[in-house]
Structures are given as structure tokens and as C-alpha cells.
A = this chain, B = another copy of it.
């Protein structure tokens, strides 16, 4: 079954398009995970405590969301010890029945892109397949031949990719809105073309697009421009967008979009003495309810 079809089934099964971003800002991890904060801890100990936290987050959210999105940068900051925890967290999430979208934003010339596609989607010889992602985010700046190896990997591994089309950050406009058509529009058209060979039974492609929910008017226009493209919508929550801002991202029946929240779920406001699990659990329920009002799914 294609990535797009598996994802759509998971969204229906969980009854929400909520995606939990696993962004382990070390300073914000709850104090329970003392190894993260201990000034005398080794890098391996800090990384291990970070992994403990993320696996615990996965346990809290697993029955209520279809997917998680670990952010590679926060693992890489602890070097090889951090990457070992990436593998652990990915494995833990997959075993919990979650779809894993690796937020790696890789992009390079063809021969190198092939290595990245192997690293995250198809797996080198001897690598534990449970440490691979269901999908990854990809940076398209290098064009066609930088994307082809990822398309091949999608076919080979029933995997998916999300190509950066319009990012959620303020600086995204600097280059993405240059030109007429804009760079974003050029990339969106390329995403449609790249995705044509990977359309599943759901009618959606396994080649998706990242479109920031912080730009709702552009989101509506890009949704129309990429009618069979699954969207990954960052910007909800800590970055400022709410349910109203993501509404135009959905196709009929709530199909075709995942809405990401990272900091809002991992580091919610806590009442005096409240356990982080209680606060995170409530944050997930709130996000589900908030999105439920605009989602349109069953």
C-alpha cells in the first residue's frame, strides 16, 4: 500500500489530522529527565535522557494521533549519541503503530541524494528497517535530479516525501515569493509533476508538500494548485496559526493534510506541580478538538 494510502487510513483511524512534532529543545525538556539537565552528564547520558523523554511522549500520544515528526537537528546536536537516539525514537514510534515523518530537509546532487534516500527510506545493507522513516521532508533547491532518487525510494519502500514549497518562517518570503510565477509556484508545479507516478488508491500522491499554515491565503491557493498532494502544515500552535488558518488545507472529507504542532504539545503550560504527561495529554486533546471543528473528516 502506498504511503499516501497508509497515511490516509491512519488519519481516518485516529480521527484527526494532528501530527506531533518531536523537537527536543534540550533546555525545555521536563525536569524529570534529569540526565538532560545534569551539567556533569556525558553526551551519551544527555542523549539517552532525551530519548527517554521522546519515547514517553510517543506513549502519551500514540493512541490519539496518526503520526509523529522527529526533527533531525535536535538529535544531531548531540552527535552520534543523538543519532542513536533518533533511531531508538523512530523504532519506538513505529512499534507504537505511528507513521514517522522524518523532518530532515535534505537536498543534494543526485548521487548524494541517493545516499540520503537510502539513509532514511530504503536502508543500507544491515541497517535495522525499523529505524527507517515512512516519509521525510526534502529541500528542492537543487531541482529534478536531486528529487529523482527520493521518488525511486518512495516506489521501492512504499515511502513518501514532503517537498518544501512554502515554509512557515518569516524569512521564507525572501526567496520563495520572488518572481512571477513565484519560486513557490514553480516548486508547487514541480511537486505535482514529480508526484504523478506515485498516486495511490486514495487518489493522493506519496509526493507531498510542506506549506506553512502561517500564510492562509497562500495555503488556499496552493491547495488548489496541487489537488492530489498531501500537505504537511507547520506553523500551528507556537508559531501562531490556529484551526482557521489550516482549514483551507483540507480536501473533501478532511483528506490530504497533516497539521503539525511541536512545542505546543511537548512543552505546554503546566499548572503548579502538574505532571508533564497530564499537560501534554491535555494539549493533544485540545489540538484534536480544535482541528475537529475545521477538519471535515469522519
Contacts and interface: CB of A to CB of B under 8 A. Distances in A.
Contact of A146 (B83, B108, B171): B171
Task: Count chain B CB atoms within 10 A of each CB in A74, A115, A183 and give the residue with the most.
Answer: A115
A151 to B, nearest CB: 12
Interface in A108-161: 108-113, 115-116, 118-120, 124-127, 131, 139-147
A71 interface: yes
Interface in A153-191: 164, 167-176, 178-180, 183, 186-187, 190
Contacts of A172: 142-143
B183 A170 contact: no
Contacts of A81: 80
B190 A186 contact: no
A116 B76 contact: yes
Contact of A169 (B110, B118, B180): B110
Interface stretch (A41-49, A57-65, A196-204, A250-258): A41-49
Nearest to A124: B77
Contacts of A127: 43, 78-79
Copies of chain A in the complex: 2
A279 B211 CA distance: 49
Interface residues of A, number: 68
A23 interface: yes
B105 A106 contact: yes
B183 A171 contact: no
A107 interface: yes
Contact of A175 (B39, B140, B171): B140
Task: Count chain B CB atoms within 10 A of each CB in A73, A83, A127, A234 and give the residue with the most.
Answer: A73
A127 B109 CA distance: 30
Contacts of A144: 170-171, 174
Given A43-B124, A105-B106, A141-B164, 12 more contacts: A43-B127, A74-B112, A76-B116, A79-B127, A80-B84, A109-B168, A142-B167, A144-B171, A174-B190, A178-B179, A178-B186, A179-B179
Counting from the closest, the 8 A-B pairs by CB-CB distance are A143-B171, A143-B174, A179-B179, A144-B171, A145-B171, A73-B115, A80-B84, A109-B169
15 contacts: A73-B112, A73-B119, A74-B115, A76-B116, A76-B119, A77-B118, A80-B80, A80-B84, A141-B175, A142-B167, A143-B170, A143-B171, A143-B172, A144-B174, A146-B169
